[in-house]
Structure 1
Protein backbone atom coordinates (compact mmCIF):
# COMPACT_ATOMS: atom_id res chain seq x y z
CA UNK A 1 0.00 0.00 0.00
CA UNK A 2 1.97 3.05 1.21
CA UNK A 3 5.75 2.70 1.44
CA UNK A 4 6.97 6.23 2.21
CA UNK A 5 5.01 8.72 4.33
CA UNK A 6 5.75 12.43 4.72
CA UNK A 7 4.45 14.21 7.80
CA UNK A 8 4.95 17.99 7.84
CA UNK A 9 5.17 19.63 11.25
CA UNK A 10 4.63 23.15 12.54
CA UNK A 11 5.10 22.12 16.17
CA UNK A 12 1.44 22.60 17.12
CA UNK A 13 -0.59 20.25 19.30
CA UNK A 14 -2.86 19.33 16.38
CA UNK A 15 0.22 18.43 14.34
CA UNK A 16 1.34 16.11 17.14
CA UNK A 17 -1.89 14.16 16.60
CA UNK A 18 -1.11 13.89 12.87
CA UNK A 19 2.39 12.65 13.75
CA UNK A 20 0.91 9.93 15.98
CA UNK A 21 -1.43 8.89 13.17
CA UNK A 22 1.38 8.83 10.60
CA UNK A 23 3.62 6.75 12.86
CA UNK A 24 0.86 4.27 13.70
CA UNK A 25 0.06 3.89 10.00
CA UNK A 26 3.73 3.55 9.05
CA UNK A 27 4.26 0.85 11.67
CA UNK A 28 1.19 -1.08 10.53
CA UNK A 29 2.20 -0.89 6.86
CA UNK A 30 5.96 -1.27 7.30
CA UNK A 31 6.42 2.12 5.65
CA UNK A 32 9.25 4.60 6.11
CA UNK A 33 8.64 8.06 7.52
CA UNK A 34 10.05 11.48 6.75
CA UNK A 35 9.21 14.79 8.36
CA UNK A 36 9.64 18.37 7.21
CA UNK A 37 9.36 21.76 8.87
CA UNK A 38 9.18 24.85 6.67
CA UNK A 39 11.15 27.94 7.67
CA UNK A 40 10.05 31.45 6.76
CA UNK A 41 12.32 33.41 4.45
CA UNK A 42 13.84 36.63 5.75
CA UNK A 43 11.26 39.44 5.43
CA UNK A 44 13.23 41.83 3.27
CA UNK A 45 11.84 45.34 3.29
CA UNK A 46 12.32 47.71 0.38
CA UNK A 47 10.95 50.54 2.52
CA UNK A 48 13.66 50.67 5.14
CA UNK A 49 17.28 49.69 5.40
CA UNK A 50 16.84 49.12 9.12
CA UNK A 51 15.80 45.63 10.09
CA UNK A 52 14.71 44.84 13.64
CA UNK A 53 16.66 41.55 13.49
CA UNK A 54 19.88 41.00 11.53
CA UNK A 55 19.41 38.45 8.72
CA UNK A 56 21.81 35.86 10.14
CA UNK A 57 20.15 36.03 13.54
CA UNK A 58 16.77 35.54 11.85
CA UNK A 59 18.03 32.54 9.85
CA UNK A 60 19.63 30.97 12.92
CA UNK A 61 16.41 31.36 14.94
CA UNK A 62 14.31 29.90 12.11
CA UNK A 63 16.66 26.91 11.85
CA UNK A 64 16.59 26.32 15.63
CA UNK A 65 12.78 26.36 15.65
CA UNK A 66 12.46 24.09 12.60
CA UNK A 67 15.12 21.69 13.89
CA UNK A 68 13.35 21.37 17.25
CA UNK A 69 10.06 20.64 15.46
CA UNK A 70 11.48 17.84 13.32
CA UNK A 71 13.46 16.49 16.29
CA UNK A 72 10.18 16.02 18.18
CA UNK A 73 8.88 13.90 15.28
CA UNK A 74 12.13 11.91 15.06
CA UNK A 75 11.99 11.28 18.82
CA UNK A 76 8.36 10.11 18.59
CA UNK A 77 9.28 7.82 15.69
CA UNK A 78 12.19 6.33 17.63
CA UNK A 79 9.92 5.75 20.63
CA UNK A 80 7.57 3.86 18.26
CA UNK A 81 10.47 1.80 16.92
CA UNK A 82 10.64 3.59 13.57
CA UNK A 83 13.38 5.48 11.81
CA UNK A 84 12.50 8.94 10.55
CA UNK A 85 14.36 11.23 8.18
CA UNK A 86 14.12 14.92 9.10
CA UNK A 87 14.32 17.96 6.85
CA UNK A 88 14.06 21.70 7.30
CA UNK A 89 13.46 23.81 4.21
CA UNK A 90 12.93 27.48 3.57
CA UNK A 91 9.97 28.56 1.48
CA UNK A 92 7.64 31.47 1.01
CA UNK A 93 4.69 29.08 0.65
CA UNK A 94 4.81 26.07 2.98
CA UNK A 95 2.38 24.05 0.85
CA UNK A 96 4.75 24.24 -2.11
CA UNK A 97 7.71 23.15 0.01
CA UNK A 98 5.71 20.21 1.37
CA UNK A 99 4.77 19.03 -2.11
CA UNK A 100 8.33 19.53 -3.39
CA UNK A 101 9.74 17.56 -0.46
CA UNK A 102 7.27 14.73 -0.99
CA UNK A 103 8.26 14.54 -4.66
CA UNK A 104 12.01 14.68 -3.96
CA UNK A 105 11.74 11.91 -1.37
CA UNK A 106 9.48 9.70 -3.46
CA UNK A 107 6.69 9.74 -0.89
CA UNK A 108 3.38 8.11 -1.73
CA UNK A 109 1.33 9.61 1.13
CA UNK A 110 1.27 12.90 3.01
CA UNK A 111 -0.24 12.97 6.51
CA UNK A 112 -1.18 16.46 7.68
CA UNK A 113 -3.14 18.14 10.41
CA UNK A 114 -6.11 20.38 9.82
CA UNK A 115 -6.46 23.30 12.18
CA UNK A 116 -10.22 23.23 11.62
CA UNK A 117 -10.71 26.85 10.63
CA UNK A 118 -13.99 27.53 8.89
CA UNK A 119 -15.78 30.40 7.25
CA UNK A 120 -14.16 33.83 7.29
CA UNK A 121 -11.24 32.69 9.45
CA UNK A 122 -10.32 30.04 6.87
CA UNK A 123 -10.61 32.57 4.02
CA UNK A 124 -8.52 35.20 5.78
CA UNK A 125 -5.90 32.94 7.32
CA UNK A 126 -5.80 30.38 4.52
CA UNK A 127 -4.97 26.77 5.00
CA UNK A 128 -1.72 25.10 4.04
CA UNK A 129 -3.47 21.74 4.31
CA UNK A 130 -6.18 22.89 1.93
CA UNK A 131 -3.56 24.10 -0.55
CA UNK A 132 -1.70 20.78 -0.33
CA UNK A 133 -4.99 18.96 -0.94
CA UNK A 134 -5.78 21.19 -3.91
CA UNK A 135 -2.39 20.86 -5.61
CA UNK A 136 -1.19 17.38 -4.63
CA UNK A 137 -1.09 14.47 -7.02
CA UNK A 138 -0.45 12.20 -4.02
CA UNK A 139 -2.98 10.96 -1.51
CA UNK A 140 -3.24 13.23 1.54
CA UNK A 141 -4.57 12.00 4.87
CA UNK A 142 -5.96 14.92 6.87
CA UNK A 143 -6.06 14.43 10.63
CA UNK A 144 -8.40 16.55 12.75
Structure 2
Protein backbone atom coordinates (compact mmCIF):
# COMPACT_ATOMS: atom_id res chain seq x y z
CA UNK A 1 0.00 0.00 0.00
CA UNK A 2 0.91 3.65 -0.02
CA UNK A 3 3.40 4.81 2.58
CA UNK A 4 3.76 8.50 1.72
CA UNK A 5 0.92 10.46 0.14
CA UNK A 6 1.32 13.97 -1.24
CA UNK A 7 -1.75 16.19 -0.96
CA UNK A 8 -1.55 19.47 -2.92
CA UNK A 9 -4.10 21.94 -1.56
CA UNK A 10 -5.36 25.30 -2.76
CA UNK A 11 -7.75 26.14 0.05
CA UNK A 12 -10.89 25.23 -1.88
CA UNK A 13 -13.58 22.92 -0.56
CA UNK A 14 -12.61 20.47 -3.30
CA UNK A 15 -8.99 20.31 -2.18
CA UNK A 16 -10.10 19.77 1.41
CA UNK A 17 -12.25 16.82 0.28
CA UNK A 18 -9.19 15.43 -1.49
CA UNK A 19 -7.17 15.96 1.70
CA UNK A 20 -9.72 13.95 3.69
CA UNK A 21 -9.54 11.13 1.13
CA UNK A 22 -5.73 11.15 1.17
CA UNK A 23 -5.61 11.09 4.95
CA UNK A 24 -8.08 8.20 5.08
CA UNK A 25 -5.92 6.24 2.60
CA UNK A 26 -2.83 6.97 4.68
CA UNK A 27 -4.61 5.77 7.81
CA UNK A 28 -5.68 2.53 6.12
CA UNK A 29 -2.17 1.85 4.82
CA UNK A 30 -0.40 3.09 7.99
CA UNK A 31 1.36 5.74 5.91
CA UNK A 32 2.00 9.44 6.28
CA UNK A 33 0.90 12.54 4.39
CA UNK A 34 2.63 15.66 3.15
CA UNK A 35 0.48 18.65 2.24
CA UNK A 36 1.73 21.26 -0.22
CA UNK A 37 0.25 24.67 -0.89
CA UNK A 38 1.73 26.59 -3.83
CA UNK A 39 1.45 30.37 -3.70
CA UNK A 40 1.50 32.28 -6.98
CA UNK A 41 4.06 35.08 -6.79
CA UNK A 42 3.06 38.74 -7.01
CA UNK A 43 3.56 40.05 -10.55
CA UNK A 44 5.01 43.55 -10.79
CA UNK A 45 4.09 46.22 -13.26
CA UNK A 46 7.00 48.38 -14.44
CA UNK A 47 5.68 51.73 -13.18
CA UNK A 48 4.49 52.92 -9.79
CA UNK A 49 7.31 51.00 -8.14
CA UNK A 50 6.90 52.13 -4.53
CA UNK A 51 3.15 51.48 -4.47
CA UNK A 52 3.63 48.05 -6.00
CA UNK A 53 6.48 47.19 -3.67
CA UNK A 54 4.21 47.86 -0.68
CA UNK A 55 1.43 45.86 -2.34
CA UNK A 56 3.81 42.96 -2.94
CA UNK A 57 4.81 42.86 0.72
CA UNK A 58 1.17 42.84 1.80
CA UNK A 59 0.27 40.23 -0.83
CA UNK A 60 3.13 37.93 0.19
CA UNK A 61 2.25 38.17 3.87
CA UNK A 62 -1.46 37.50 3.28
CA UNK A 63 -0.78 34.66 0.83
CA UNK A 64 1.63 33.00 3.28
CA UNK A 65 -0.90 33.44 6.09
CA UNK A 66 -3.67 31.87 3.99
CA UNK A 67 -1.39 28.98 3.04
CA UNK A 68 -0.51 28.32 6.66
CA UNK A 69 -4.23 28.34 7.55
CA UNK A 70 -4.99 25.77 4.82
CA UNK A 71 -2.11 23.59 6.00
CA UNK A 72 -3.32 23.83 9.60
CA UNK A 73 -6.73 22.53 8.50
CA UNK A 74 -5.10 19.49 6.88
CA UNK A 75 -2.88 18.96 9.93
CA UNK A 76 -5.97 18.97 12.17
CA UNK A 77 -7.59 16.30 9.98
CA UNK A 78 -4.45 14.14 10.06
CA UNK A 79 -3.93 14.61 13.81
CA UNK A 80 -7.56 13.64 14.48
CA UNK A 81 -6.98 10.16 13.05
CA UNK A 82 -3.34 9.74 14.07
CA UNK A 83 -1.73 10.05 10.65
CA UNK A 84 1.81 11.49 10.58
CA UNK A 85 1.77 14.86 8.80
CA UNK A 86 4.10 17.46 7.38
CA UNK A 87 3.09 20.58 5.47
CA UNK A 88 4.75 23.24 3.37
CA UNK A 89 3.74 26.45 1.62
CA UNK A 90 5.98 27.52 -1.27
CA UNK A 91 5.96 30.32 -3.82
CA UNK A 92 6.04 29.28 -7.48
CA UNK A 93 4.79 30.35 -10.91
CA UNK A 94 3.94 26.81 -11.99
CA UNK A 95 2.28 24.82 -9.20
CA UNK A 96 2.54 21.53 -11.13
CA UNK A 97 6.32 21.86 -11.24
CA UNK A 98 6.56 22.21 -7.46
CA UNK A 99 4.14 19.31 -7.00
CA UNK A 100 6.15 17.02 -9.29
CA UNK A 101 9.39 18.08 -7.57
CA UNK A 102 7.85 17.39 -4.14
CA UNK A 103 6.89 13.88 -5.29
CA UNK A 104 10.57 13.20 -6.00
CA UNK A 105 12.07 15.06 -3.05
CA UNK A 106 9.74 13.49 -0.48
CA UNK A 107 9.69 10.07 -2.20
CA UNK A 108 5.90 10.00 -2.30
CA UNK A 109 4.19 6.97 -3.79
CA UNK A 110 0.75 8.55 -4.37
CA UNK A 111 -0.69 11.99 -5.03
CA UNK A 112 -4.27 12.79 -4.00
CA UNK A 113 -5.59 16.05 -5.39
CA UNK A 114 -8.78 17.75 -6.45
CA UNK A 115 -9.84 18.73 -9.93
CA UNK A 116 -12.35 21.45 -10.64
CA UNK A 117 -13.65 19.47 -13.58
CA UNK A 118 -13.27 22.19 -16.18
CA UNK A 119 -13.97 20.96 -19.67
CA UNK A 120 -13.71 22.19 -23.20
CA UNK A 121 -12.57 25.73 -23.90
CA UNK A 122 -12.28 26.73 -20.21
CA UNK A 123 -9.80 23.92 -19.57
CA UNK A 124 -7.96 24.69 -22.78
CA UNK A 125 -7.59 28.38 -21.91
CA UNK A 126 -6.96 28.11 -18.18
CA UNK A 127 -5.15 24.80 -18.12
CA UNK A 128 -5.38 22.38 -15.26
CA UNK A 129 -2.69 21.87 -12.67
CA UNK A 130 -4.14 18.43 -12.02
CA UNK A 131 -3.87 17.53 -15.71
CA UNK A 132 -0.27 18.75 -15.79
CA UNK A 133 0.58 16.64 -12.74
CA UNK A 134 -1.14 13.61 -14.28
CA UNK A 135 1.02 13.96 -17.39
CA UNK A 136 4.30 14.40 -15.50
CA UNK A 137 4.03 12.30 -12.36
CA UNK A 138 5.94 9.05 -12.02
CA UNK A 139 3.54 7.87 -9.30
CA UNK A 140 -0.23 7.28 -9.36
CA UNK A 141 -2.48 10.33 -8.99
CA UNK A 142 -5.89 9.95 -7.41
CA UNK A 143 -8.15 12.76 -8.64
CA UNK A 144 -11.11 13.77 -6.48
CA UNK A 145 -14.06 15.69 -7.94
TM range (shorter): over 0.9
Note if 1:72 corresponds to 2:90: no
Q: How many angstroms apart in 2 are the aligned matches of 1:95 and 1:118?
A: 19
In the alignment, what sits opposite 1:9? 9
What is the CA distance between 1:137 and its match in structure 2? 1.2
Q: How many angstroms apart in 1 are the aligned matches of 2:27 and 2:124?
A: 36
In the alignment, what sits opposite 2:30? 30
Q: How many angstroms apart in 2 are the aligned matches of 1:46 and 1:92?
A: 19
Give a deviation string over 1:9-30, Cα, whole Å, max 9, x none. 0011111111111011101111
What is the CA distance between 1:53 and its match in structure 2? 4.5
Of 45-54 and 66-75, more deviation after overlay is shown by 45-54
2:52 aligns to what SS in structure 1? Answer: coil
**TM (normalized to structure 1)?**
0.93
For structure 1, the 5+ residue unaligned runs are none
Q: How many angstroms apart in 2 are the aligned matches of 1:117 and 1:53?
A: 35
Distance 1:47 1:137, change over 3 A: farther
Summarize the alignment of residues 24-103 of structure 1 with structure 2, pairs less than 5 Å apart. Answer: 24-49=24-49, 50-51=51-52, 53-103=54-104
Give a deviation string over 1:34-90, Cα, whole Å, max 9, x none. 101001112122355342853222211111011111111001111122121010111
**TM (normalized to structure 2)?**
0.93
Aligned pairs, number: 144
For structure 2, the 5+ residue unaligned runs are none
CA RMSD of superposed structures (Å): 1.4
Runs of 4+ in 1 over 6 A off after TM superposition: none
